[in-house]
């Protein structure tokens, strides 16, 4: 497995803004783990789906389903709980604090008052005000760092970079892996450079398996971090069994199991201390499943830190 992982990284196209990302990351971690900030806990929330390019100068790609809602809503709740959040997200997916905005905020929220002035439409004023204030406060207090990715190559290289940078934060760091990560990809060296010709009949592509990074994350990159992974299935009959298998195989601290069609209503947190069903509070229209989910995860993280130090 280690050979597969090394060869995946060796053959990946290098990250374009590696130096700047590393600097921002180190600054963020230093600020939040120093005595100046009171030594905050730091969580890396991954969100959205990774793409698999079919051409090096990519026109076509395979995508993985994820709106980024879970990651964005979880980020807001982690910030509320006092965490600093590294939000590793797929470009173009849901962002923290934007849940109450319309789908196309730019065009639907604003209106011209005259030719030179633009203002927020009355009906969206409150939502825009809250989104801007909350996001600006999280960034200004140094509690939110957003790092975008698109491809499976970018995602996995950035995850490794973050895990390595967080090493010294030890048990006070957490990985909350809600991103939908591709299981198959076209290796860079076997990928055609230019756009695949469409005039020569059906297309045969051989996809290689993406090595599961959870095992190396736990055993090497971030041994002391608290680690939460996710399991998504469309068949509820196999969901808990699969999540339990993943818990044992990857030795993560909990697996959040969710079924595609009910993922906004309930999830099951599978861990060695048993399975807990977490639901949205149906009698409160504003309630989301992440409110209760993050409360539970934060509690479990506190216990983990206490046990680690005792």
Chain residues in the site for ligand PMT (CB under 6 A): 66-70, 177-181, 183, 210, 212-214, 229-232, 258, 263
- Nearest residue (CB) to ligand PMT, 32 versus 154: 154
Output the smallest distance, CB 100 to ligand PMT, in A.
Answer: 16
Output the smallest distance, CB 215 to ligand PMT, in A.
Answer: 8
* 157 close to 188: Cβ distance less than 8 angstroms: no
CA 204 to chain centre: 32
- Nearest residue (CB) to ligand PMT, 32 versus 74: 74
Output the smallest distance, CB 68 to ligand PMT, in A.
Answer: 5
Q: Could you tell me where the DSSP H helices lie in the chain?
A: 2-10, 18-33, 69-80, 105-109, 125-140, 152-165, 214-216, 236-250, 289-309
Output the smallest distance, CB 35 to ligand PMT, in A.
Answer: 33
Output the smallest distance, CB 66 to ligand PMT, in A.
Answer: 4
Output the smallest distance, CB 38 to ligand PMT, in A.
Answer: 30
Output the smallest distance, CB 256 to ligand PMT, in A.
Answer: 7
- Nearest residue (CB) to ligand PMT, 21 versus 258: 258
Q: Measured between alpha carbons, how far is 26 from 23 in angstroms, rounded to an integer?
A: 5
- Nearest residue (CB) to ligand PMT, 42 versus 257: 257
DSSP annotation of 295: H
- Nearest residue (CB) to ligand PMT, 40 versus 70: 70
The position carrying tokens 């140094």 is 142
Query: Which residues share a beta bridge with 276?
Result: 269
Alpha-carbon torsion angle 117, 123, 127, 129, nearest 10: 40
Strands 208-209 and 266-271 turn out to be unpaired
- Nearest residue (CB) to ligand PMT, 117 versus 234: 234
Task: Tell me phi and psi for residue 209, to 5 degrees.
Answer: -85, 135
- Nearest residue (CB) to ligand PMT, 87 versus 230: 230
- Nearest residue (CB) to ligand PMT, 32 versus 210: 210
Sorted by sequence, the CB contacts under 8 Å of residue 180 that are 6+ apart come out as 48, 49, 50, 64, 65, 66, 232
Sorted by sequence, the CB contacts under 8 Å of residue 249 that are 6+ apart come out as 215
Output the smallest distance, CB 183 to ligand PMT, in A.
Answer: 5
* 171 close to 305: Cβ distance less than 8 angstroms: yes
Q: Hey, is 180 helix, strand or coil? A: strand
């Amino acid at each position: 497995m280690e050979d597969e992982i090394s060869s995946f990284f060796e053959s990946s196209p290098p990250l374009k803004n590696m130096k700047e990302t590393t600097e921002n990351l180190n600054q963020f971690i230093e600020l939040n783990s120093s005595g100046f900030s009171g030594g905050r806990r730091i969580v890396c929330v991954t969100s959205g789906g990774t793409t698999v390019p079919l051409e090096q100068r990519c026109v076509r790609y395979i995508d993985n389903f994820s709106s980024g809602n879970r990651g964005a809503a979880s980020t807001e709740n982690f910030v509320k709980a006092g965490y600093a959040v590294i939000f590793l997200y797929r470009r173009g997916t849901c962002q923290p604090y934007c849940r109450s905005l319309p789908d196309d905020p730019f065009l639907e929220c604003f209106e011209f008052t005259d030719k030179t002035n633009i203002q927020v439409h009355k009906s969206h004023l409150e939502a825009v005000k809250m989104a801007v204030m909350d996001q600006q406060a999280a960034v200004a207090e140094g509690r939110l760092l957003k790092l975008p990715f698109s491809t499976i190559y970018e995602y996995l290289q950035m995850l490794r970079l973050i895990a390595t940078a967080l090493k010294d934060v030890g048990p006070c760091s957490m990985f909350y892996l809600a991103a939908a990560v591709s299981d198959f990809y076209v290796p860079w060296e076997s990928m055609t450079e230019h756009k695949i010709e469409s005039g020569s009949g059906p297309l045969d592509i051989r996809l290689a398996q993406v090595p599961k990074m959870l095992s190396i994350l736990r055993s090497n990159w971030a041994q002391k971090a608290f680690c939460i992974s996710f399991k998504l299935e469309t068949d509820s009959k196999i969901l808990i069994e699969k999540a339990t298998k993943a818990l044992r195989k990857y030795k993560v601290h909990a697996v959040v199991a969710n079924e595609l069609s009910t993922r906004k209503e309930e999830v099951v947190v599978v861990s060695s201390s048993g399975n807990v069903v977490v639901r949205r509070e149906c009698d409160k229209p504003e309630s989301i499943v992440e409110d209760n989910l993050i409360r539970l995860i934060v509690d479990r993280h506190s216990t983990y830190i206490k046990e680690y130090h005792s």
